[in-house]
Amino acid sequence: MKYFFSFIVLGSITLSIKIEVRAQAKSQTDSVLYSREKHFKNIRQITFGADNAEAYWSFDGNYFSFQSNNKEWGYQCDQIFYMPIEGMDLSKGAKPHLVSTGMGRTTCSFFMPDGKSILYASTHLGGKDCPKDVERKPGGKYLWPVYETYDIFVADLKGRITKQLTNSPGYDAEATISPKKDKIVFTSTRNGDLDLYTMDMDGKNVKQITHEIGYDGGAFFSPDGKKIVFRASRFKTDEEKKEYLDYLKQGLVAPTAMEIFTCNVDGSDLKQITHLGKANWAPFYHPSGKKIIFSSNHKGTRGFEFNLFMINEDGSGLEQVTYDRAFDSFPMFSPNGKKIIFSSNRNNGGTHNTNLFVADWVD
């Protein structure tokens, strides 16, 4: 699920907005590491230009998949690519490997356990063109589209689709795989709401695990595969709930308030972890299984100031991890816990580009 600047995407959703980001001090403008980011070491930039996000490691930690709308690669909206974490330099003209069909819009890719295929969501069965974005109205409410033509597919590394895992009316996307290599969690509107479901690796044995009205998405398993962390919107009034449902009937959501939740794989023991207000999302478990890293704008004076934070699983010990003035999100630890990959607006030369960065992780 993307959410970045100038493009904001959540799961499947890409919204183009114009934002002026004030220049940072020169010592930081030319850097990819800010002085207070003590958890990062040997940070380096991987992509250079356009909008790149949702980078997820292969199970062996040697590759990662991601989505990009880089027009220099010949595509008008997000498609799925993969590349090795070492040995390919995109700054010198190399191009990552295309996995998706090149049609429609795609999102939420994840390497299958065999390392020879990739899971992703795509709208291509609904049409070869990019689906239309929401019309922007000055002063209007900020909205994301939820494309009902999204389904979840598996393709080999040459881009040949080998299996369609979902085939239900409505949105099916945001799929990730358990470290135990036995289950997939994903978000679907098949029941009229945006809820979490699990299924077996072949798409069978689908089970709904969240049931409360609100947007449940961006889910990941804990390192031991026993729990799930995700972001969710919940409502304090009947009016807020009605507005959410009315928008959803139009294939839209207005995500201005989200918090981080956890539950067991079967949906039991549901807990709200953050109570920060604003937008808290893109959570991922720390390798210890006792902490959660996530993106939040709760400390920003403007809505687009997102940084990475870490919190204990019981909701204590909130710690700021990154110190960008624009956008950091989509953190994911490598399988061995030694590296982290994330998306950021840092070092983009004053443009709206969002790029991928990888760093050694220091506890």
Lowest-pLDDT choice from 10-19, 93-102, 132-141, 206-215: 10-19
Mean pLDDT of all residues in 155-162: 98
4-39 pLDDT per residue, tens: 333 344 444 433 333 333 433 333 444 799 999 999
192 part of a folded domain: yes
**CATH at 124:** 2.120.10.30
Residue 238 covered by a domain: yes
Domain ranges, residue 159: 52-313
Note the pLDDT tens digit of each residue in 248-296.
999 999 877 999 999 999 999 999 999 999 999 999 999 999 999 999 9
The answer to the question of residue 186 being in a domain is yes
Within-domain flag for 6: no
Question: Which tens digits make up the pLDDT trace of 89-127?
Answer: 999 999 999 999 999 999 999 999 999 999 999 999 999
Residue type for 219, please?
A
Buried b (16+ CB within 10 A) or exposed e, 170-201: bbbbbbbbbbeeebbbbbbbeeebbbbbbbeb
Nearest partner of 68 among 347, 358, 355, 359, judged by Cα: 355
The set of residues, in sequence order, having a beta carbon less than 8 Å from that of 336 and lying 6+ positions away, is 61, 287
Q: Domain tally for the chain?
A: 1
Query: pLDDT band for position 144 (50/70/90)?
Result: confident
Residue 235: the pLDDT is 94
